[in-house]
Structure 1
Amino acid sequence: AAIVAIGVSSVVQDLNEAAMFVAHLIYGSSGFRQREEIDSSTHYYGRGFIQLSREDSYREASQELNGDEQTLVVDPDIVTQDAWQALKVSVWLWKCKVQRVGGPSKNKFRRTTMVVKSEEESGPGHPTAELLYGLYVEIAKFLGVADSELASNEC
């Protein structure tokens, strides 16, 4: 729990964004039980609490977190070695990908989902999108975010 609190406090601007981030952490890791996708057939499958995938993402994260482009490209399993590595990649993804498209700052939860998941999975009525949004709302309410401040489920 402490490692998650450190990660959350290092990247979010307010409790509402914290709820968004934590919802994606919980969903992407099946409740912090997994640090990687199961049964993936590709070398650069999802790893981390918020899953990093595709070689270009591993390359970008490696440059930012390790100072070189190759560390995570050559050995992507580094991300799954421990909770700290999984969290570092997740914080990087949130800061460098999600925050840049303005999902949290524009208070649009679906925009965060479009970055973290696929466009298909973030579409209106898709079970993943609806489950993630419901999880976000529960966490936000638990953290004391007022109903009037909840993010819309729009892009």
Structure 2
Amino acid sequence: HTKEIACVQTQCPNNYRTGREKDGLYYYGRGYIQLTWLENYANCSLDLYGDMRLVDNPDLVSDTEEGAWGSAFWYWNKYVHDIPEIKDGQFGHTTMAINGPLECNGPYKMKAFKRFVIYSKIFEVFKLSKPSPKQNGCYPMIDHIDADNVEEGATYFAVCKPTGFYRRQPGMYHWCNDNCNDNGPNCPDNMCKCPDDLYRYHTIMKEKKII
């Protein structure tokens, strides 16, 4: 999608507002990296074109391939590419840099986790070079869950890993995360190992209606 789905019909007139926008112009997510906010449209336009065309006509970011790709490359190079943790393979830092308030600190942490799993599968299929992907950098990462002392509203993701024979089987790391690290785990104990309190944690969270 080159336009923020939630804004296609309404243009989200109350979102991403600074008070400096011209009447009738809205700077919701557009392009392949979903550029938002007037300031980003202005800086991107100046860097790419030397003028304010993307401010005057923000749909250029979504409706032209040049704008959709150009804005994505601009944002990546300016705000993401040089983060040291990303160069170390810490995938979560890319999510934090692009959409952190919603997906790392907001209500969509599970989407961030699933994106990491998809990226890891692509990494494996294409046999990409090191560093191998790591989840770190977005949602909380812990190895042990104190299920009796979780913060209200917190959602944690713990890595479930293949064990024994299955550690040598291609794709098992992803299978364990897909099938074990969720609200209704379907995880054979002799195939995958999760933190001891993971299942009890999910039970408590369900009772609190947090997840």
Equivalences for residues 4-153 of structure 1 within 5 A: 34-40=1-7, 41-42=12-13, 43-68=26-51, 70-122=52-104, 126-145=109-128, 149-153=131-135
Secondary structure of residue in 2 paired with 1:145: coil
Structure 2: state its 5+ residue gaps.
14-25, 138-211
Structure 1: state its 5+ residue gaps.
1-33
Are 2:80 and 2:94, in contact at CA under 8 Å, matched by a contact in 1? yes
**CA deviation profile, 1:111-140 (whole Å, cap 9, x unmatched):** 110111123412598112112101211211
* One-letter amino acid of the structure 2 residue matched with residue 114 of structure 1: M
1:83–1:103: structure 2 CA closer, same or farther, 3 Å change rule? farther
How far apart are 1:104 and its partner, in Å? 2.7
Report the TM-score when normalising by structure 1.
Answer: 0.69
Report the TM-score when normalising by structure 2.
Answer: 0.52
Are 1:122 and 1:128, in contact at CA under 8 Å, matched by a contact in 2? no
- How many residues get paired? 120
The runs of at least 4 consecutive aligned structure 1 residues that moved more than 4 Å come to none
Highest CA radius of gyration, 1 or 2?
2
Identity of aligned residues (%): 27
1:139–1:59: structure 2 CA closer, same or farther, 3 Å change rule? same
**CA deviation profile, 1:29-59 (whole Å, cap 9, x unmatched):** xxxxx21112321311000111100111111
Greater share of helix: 1
